Chains A and B, each alone.
Chain A
Amino acid sequence: EAGVAQSPRYKIIEKRQSVAFWCNPISGHATLYWYQQILGQGPKLLIQFQNNGVVDDSQLPKDRFSAERLKGVDSTLKIQPAKLEDSAVYLCASSSPGQAAYEQYFGPGTRLTVT
């Protein structure tokens, strides 16, 4: 079974530029999550999708971050414009519905450096 795929793995941009990350979840997983992991901290949930609908985006900085999950499969997370404090690893995860929703499978992450 293929795992969660993410690209790119690394990205370096200057502040005020825009950037986009892509995630392909495990086949059949209806729930998709985007996390931000700042160095020295645990992952923090940014947004959760159930199929192509948003379940929780309370921690997403909506003035600069946006995410979509068209057709309920792949997802894209965008930052525009980026700030220095956005430097972090962005993790995508997916899970099945029900209790198994807590068993999240994580991709390798995208390491973003904003200079």
Chain B
Amino acid sequence: AQSVTQPDIHITVSEGASLELRCNYSYGATPYLFWYVQSPGQGLQLLLKYFSGDTLVQGIKGFEAEFKRSQSSFNLRKPSVHWSDAAEYFCAVADYKLSFGAGTTVTVRA
């Protein structure tokens, strides 16, 4: 069965610093992979997705993610974090349905 692991429960980063969130998946075939962001009191918003092709995908809000089949990873990155990026981030894998990781909470300090 498909599954997703997000090893980091909570990350604190300074404003302007770079951010990387880890995601490891377990899936037998070529995965469809996603990153969602959830701000407090809000629903989930799709940041980016990977279906096939170029392994480096660009998303909204300056985020990017890199698919590495050899490592079963789909890590999310942002070069320079803004205070508004404080939120919870979920990685997800799909075959016939989405399976989400437990999420990583990002705190941005001034």
Contact = CB atoms under 8 A, between A and B. Distances in A.
Given A56-B97, A102-B32, A102-B34, A43 B49 contact: no
Interface SS, B side: strand
B98 A45 contact: yes
Interface stretch (A69-77, A80-88, A106-114): A106-114
Nearest to A92: B43
Interface stretch (B14-22, B78-86, B99-107): B99-107
Nearest to B90: A42
B108 interface: no
B102 A106 contact: no
Contacts of A41: 102-103
Contacts of B92: 42
A99 B97 contact: no
A4 B43 contact: yes
A56 B101 CA distance: 20
Interface residues of B, number: 22
Interface residues of A, number: 20
Contacts of B46: 103-105
Contacts of B90: 42-43
A106 B49 contact: no
Interface string A19-49: 0000000000000000000001111110010
A21 to B, nearest CB: 13
Contacts of B32: 102
Contact of B44 (A40, A43, A102): A43
Nearest to A108: B43
Interface of A: 4, 40-45, 48, 56, 91, 93, 99, 102-109
20 contacts: A40-B102, A41-B103, A42-B4, A42-B90, A42-B92, A42-B103, A43-B44, A43-B90, A45-B98, A56-B96, A91-B43, A91-B44, A102-B32, A102-B34, A102-B49, A102-B51, A106-B36, A106-B43, A106-B44, A108-B42
The list of the 7 closest CB pairs from A to B, nearest first, reads A42-B100, A106-B43, A106-B44, A108-B43, A102-B94, A107-B43, A43-B100
